[in-house]
Amino acid sequence: MTASTLNLETLCQRVCDLAHTTGGIIRRDIHKISKKDLEVKGRHNYVTYVDKMSEAYLVKELSLLLPEAGFIAEEGTSAKKGGRFHWVIDPLDGTTNFIHALPIYSISIALMDQEEVVLGVVYEVNQKECFNAWKGSPAYLNGKPIHCSDTGVLDDSLLATGFPYTDPGYMEHNLRLLGYLLQNTRGLRRFGSAAVDLAYVACGRFDAFYEYGLNPWDVAAGSLIVRQAGGRVSDFNGGNRFIYGKQIIVSNPSIYDHLMEIFRTYFIADL
């Protein structure tokens, strides 16, 4: 079976339904989390029973939707290897926000056919916003088509970024870049969920987003949604190493080239 023989539209709708249901499970437990529920995976890197519960539910239900698919999942619930297909899932992107009751966190689900993302769903739990796309489709927000912004110059743009909590090695370069962008854009936002940041570029709320130190489950779904919304997606070199290469820049088409010039000046690309 290949992506061309799957009904990706029907499959995507079923994944959206699953994300809605899982979001309800997460919302149910938001006020039940306490310090005793936190597990430390690494410095400033936390997981809760809600992350694990969400992932276990997603793995179970996605296995029913496409039994031959394997999994790349943040919490390691399933290490099943697929032949062609793999689900790439983040059951709760923005765990730090969640444990502090800050209302920006999401579920991210992508389907990859070998190295190609062919389906993506990002569900922002608090606003009940479901961003989705599949190979060859428009991008959608709650069933309505969305597009990247048409902002033409960087000076009029609002950007988003994030800061890695496990890899401070490029902090000096990142701060130089940040200093330039703060002076030459309408501003930068750091929301704490890369999946949400990508979705917000797709619907035009942000004009661009960049971050390094990310994992496949952070970016796989959102990168497809941005592309299907008419945006540009690359690594910091302008290449395609953004799923596994731990770096991504997404933008509306008008300011992408200018952003890449700035990255070449203020950042080192070969992370």
The rounded distance, in Å, linking the Cα atoms of 78 and 56 is 8
Taking 70 as the threshold, does the pLDDT of residue 214 lie above it?
yes
What pLDDT is attached to residue 169?
62
Percent of the chain with pLDDT over 70: 86
d(CA 191, CA 149): 19
Asked whether the beta carbons of 105 and 92 are under 8 A apart, the reply is yes
pLDDT digits (tens, 9 = 90+) for 38-95: 565 545 455 677 888 898 999 999 999 999 999 997 666 666 677 799 999 999 999 8
235 CB burial (10 A radius; 0-12, 13-18, 19+): buried
Count Cα neighbours of 121 within 13 Å in the Cβ-side half-sphere.
31
Where does the pLDDT of residue 3 fall: very low under 50, low under 70, confident under 90, or very high at 90 and above? low
- Determine the number of helices (DSSP H) and then strands (DSSP E) in the chain: 7, 14
Half-sphere exposure of 143 (CA within 13 A, CB side): 4
- Give the pLDDT band of residue 163 (cuts 50, 70, 90): confident
What count of Cα atoms within 13 Å lies in the side-chain half-sphere of residue 160? 23
> Judging by DSSP bridges, how do beta strands 129-134 and 85-93 pair with one another?
unpaired
Neighbours of 67 (CB within 10 A): 10
Taking 60 as the threshold, does the pLDDT of residue 34 lie above it?
no
Which part of the chain has CATH 3.30.540.10?
Answer: 3-146
Q: Compute the distance between CA of residue 218 and CA of residue 239 in angstroms, rounded to an integer.
A: 18
For residues 86 and 112, what is the distance between their CA atoms, to the nearest angstrom? 5
Amino acid at 149: S
Higher pLDDT, 54 or 209: 209
Q: In terms of DSSP bridges, do strands 85-93 and 106-113 run parallel, antiparallel, or are they unpaired?
A: antiparallel
The 10s digit of each residue's pLDDT in 216-246 is 999 999 999 999 999 999 999 899 999 999 8
* pLDDT at residue 244 in the model: 94
Of residues 15, 11, 22, the one with CA closest to residue 128? 22
pLDDT in tens, 164-197: 766 666 777 788 899 999 999 999 999 999 999 9
Between these two residues, 128 and 74, which has the higher pLDDT value?
A: 128
Percent of the chain with pLDDT over 90: 68
| pLDDT, mean over the chain | 89
Q: Which residues is 131 bridged to in the sheet?
A: 122, 141
Fold of 154-266: D-Maltodextrin-Binding Protein; domain 2 (3.40.190)
Q: What is the pLDDT of residue 271?
A: 46
Report the topology of domain 3-146: Fructose-1,6-Bisphosphatase; Chain A, domain 1 (3.30.540)
104-113: average pLDDT: 97
Residues of the chain with CATH 3.40.190.80: 154-266
